[in-house]
Amino acid sequence: MKNFAYARAENVAAAIQSITLNSNAKFLAGGTNLVDLMRENIEQPDQLVDVTALPLSQVEELPGGGVRIGALVKNSHLAANQIIRERYPVLSEAILNGASGQIRNMATTSGNLMQRTRCYYFYDGAARCNKREPGAGCDALEGFNRYHAILGASEHCIATHPSDMCVALAALDATVQVTGRDGERSIPLVDFHRLPEDTPQIDTNLRADELITSVDLPALPAAKNSMYRKVRDRASYAFAIISVAGVLEVEDDTIKNVRLALGGVAHKPWRAFAAEKLLMGAQVNEETFKAAAAAELEPARGYKYNSFKIELAQRAIVTVLKTLTKKEDSK
Amino acid sequence: MGTREAKTVSINLKINGANHNLQIEPRVSLLDALREYIGLTGTKKGCDQGACGACTVLVDGERINSCLAFAVQYQGREITTIEGVANDDQLHALQAAFIESDGFQCGYCTPGQICSAIAMVAEFKQGMPSAVSGGALDWEFTDAEIKERMSGNLCRCGAYVGIVEAIRDTFGKEAAR
């Protein structure tokens, strides 16, 4: 790893100033992804600005029933938080399905958003990768692409976003609060991460001078009935082949409110808007669920080793909806 | 470009109750600080990428992967390594159980397993849910829970059965709800 200058930010303004003064500086929080990327020489900042002293470690209720999750709240603490477990269980479950106990204790909310793909061609300096080196090519297209995207990809990049937490946040309509040189702004989580298109080297819409201060959840009573289902090659401690975050509210056998998001399928957490549109106000039954899942996966494109994901994702959506229906019934 | 001088910083780490002053480059991991600079070689480097858990140490009682930690970030924290788990000459109950239950073969993952398990039980008692508990409001200290909560510690010798038994025998009673 290249050596770097280390500085600790005393307040948000100082953090922003540091990052603005040096374009090769990066923020450091838990380090669980950045340290690895630096050791692999994929990231080579000459300065790290440690933001862990900033007062952004609270989970607090917002007027109106929503919740503000500080950027520095540890993943494990967030998963264990009583308000989250009662009102947004899908978020707690998603976090607990990711990484390991040790990593969840180090990782922060903002770091989880900012983590980069684990595509092996991205990691392998000897492989061609448009994300690491625009224009170099993409070895995943013709390579071993079991863990790669089936939705929203481009010929330049078929990598997936690895986070579980973000899939739940996408389903919950979270917004990312950021502060930068030009002040504060709010970015919907579903617009925070980008699709590769012809700029796979850019992961997010966060500007170079911006710091994430919190992730806000709107009030969503329906989220009390929510869950996360992760399908992976191992029983634990593995990234998703596909995953589903679901929220469901049923009244008189009719879907009153529904949210669905998919993980392991795209360069960003994939909000299933097409499926939701068909489900809203529809009758609760397997046919409806299957039709909605099929509609969402209709534009999917598989590669040599991951075409099975297209069917798998649909079945997982149906299973989640059926399970959430049973939970509603048993109330 | 000429050579850049490697800039070092002066830090103080508190390990197993003792203070250590170090002059190190910021890029030195907590793992390397422990092993190479302080001489506490009980904590092991298995993968150096946060995938195996052999480097697990406790920070204020919480388990972390020291390979992913920069030493400079951990000043002012109470760090516990495998060397600090026993009570002078008396082994920690879990250490004795590892011997009793044949919880290791080569022993390389063992310091990480023991530190991780001690913190895992503390998490369990504090009410930390797991992927196995799902959305339940209460759960038992089952083997399924132990395995899920210990999934961040790999053992290539395959001593898992003995590891789980040692953890169950040592902490089963105090973790019972």
- Tens-place pLDDT, residues A34-90: 999 999 999 999 999 999 999 999 999 999 999 999 999 999 999 999 999 999 999
- Is the predicted pLDDT of residue B174 greater than 90, yes or no? no
Q: What is the largest CA-CA distance in chain B?
A: 64
Distance CA A109, CA A29 (A): 10
* CB contact at 8 A, B111 and B63: no
pLDDT value at residue B139: 83
Stretch A181-195: mean pLDDT = 98
* CB contact at 8 A, A185 and A145: no
Report the share of chain A in percent with pLDDT over 90.
98
Distance CA A211, CA A16 (A): 7
Stretch B5-34: mean pLDDT = 95
Does the beta-carbon distance from B26 to A3 stay under 8 Å?
Answer: yes
- Is the predicted pLDDT of residue B5 greater than 60, yes or no? no
> What tokens were used for A189?
């989580």
Of B79, B83, B38, B88, nearest to B60 (Cα)?
B79
Interface subset of A 47-86, CB within 8 angstroms of B: 48, 50, 52, 76, 79-80, 85
Interface test with A, best of B47, B60, B63, B114 (most A CBs within 10 A): B63
Residues of B with CB under 8 A from a CB of A: 4, 6-7, 9, 25-27, 29, 48-50, 53, 56, 62-65, 67-70, 72-73, 116, 119-120, 123, 126-131, 133-135, 147-153
> What tokens were used for A186?
């709010």
Distance CA A182, CA A171 (A): 29
* CB contact at 8 A, A34 and A43: yes
- Is the predicted pLDDT of residue B3 greater than 60, yes or no? no
Q: Hey, is B67 helix, strand or coil? A: helix
Residue A329's pLDDT band, with cuts at 50, 70 and 90, is: confident
Q: Which of A85, A105, A230 sits opposite B62 (nearest CB)?
A: A105
Distance CA B28, CA B38 (A): 12
Nearest CA in chain A to B137: A85
Of the candidate ranges A98-112, A197-211, A226-240, B130-144, the one whose mean pLDDT is the lowest: B130-144
Stretch A112-118: mean pLDDT = 98
Distance CA A69, CA A108 (A): 10
pLDDT value at residue B1: 37
Q: Are strands A175-180 and B18-24 parallel, antiparallel or unpaired?
A: unpaired
Which runs of consecutive H residues, i.e. helices, occur in B8-109?
A: 30-32, 93-100
Interface test with B, best of A2, A51, A100 (most B CBs within 10 A): A100
pLDDT value at residue B2: 40
Q: Enumerate residues 6+ apart whose C-beta is below 8 A from B24.
A: B8, B9, B11, B33, B37, B71, B72
Smallest Cα distance from A229 to chain B, Å: 10
Of B48, B46, B37, B44, nearest to B12 (Cα)?
B37
> What tokens were used for A88?
């947004």
Does the beta-carbon distance from B62 to A79 stay under 8 Å?
Answer: no
> What tokens were used for B76?
């002012």
Count of CB atoms situated within 10 Å of the CB of B53: 28
Nearest CA in chain A to B62: A105
Distance CA A175, CA A189 (A): 5
- pLDDT, one tens digit per residue, over A33-50 is 999 999 999 999 999 999
What ipTM does the predicted assembly reach? 0.96
- Is the predicted pLDDT of residue A285 greater than 90, yes or no? yes
Contacts of B131 in chain A (CB under 8 A): 93, 96-97, 230, 236
Q: Which of B7, B126, B148 sits opposite A236 (nearest CB)?
A: B148
Q: Look over chain A and give the mean of its residue pLDDT values, rounded to a whole number.
A: 97
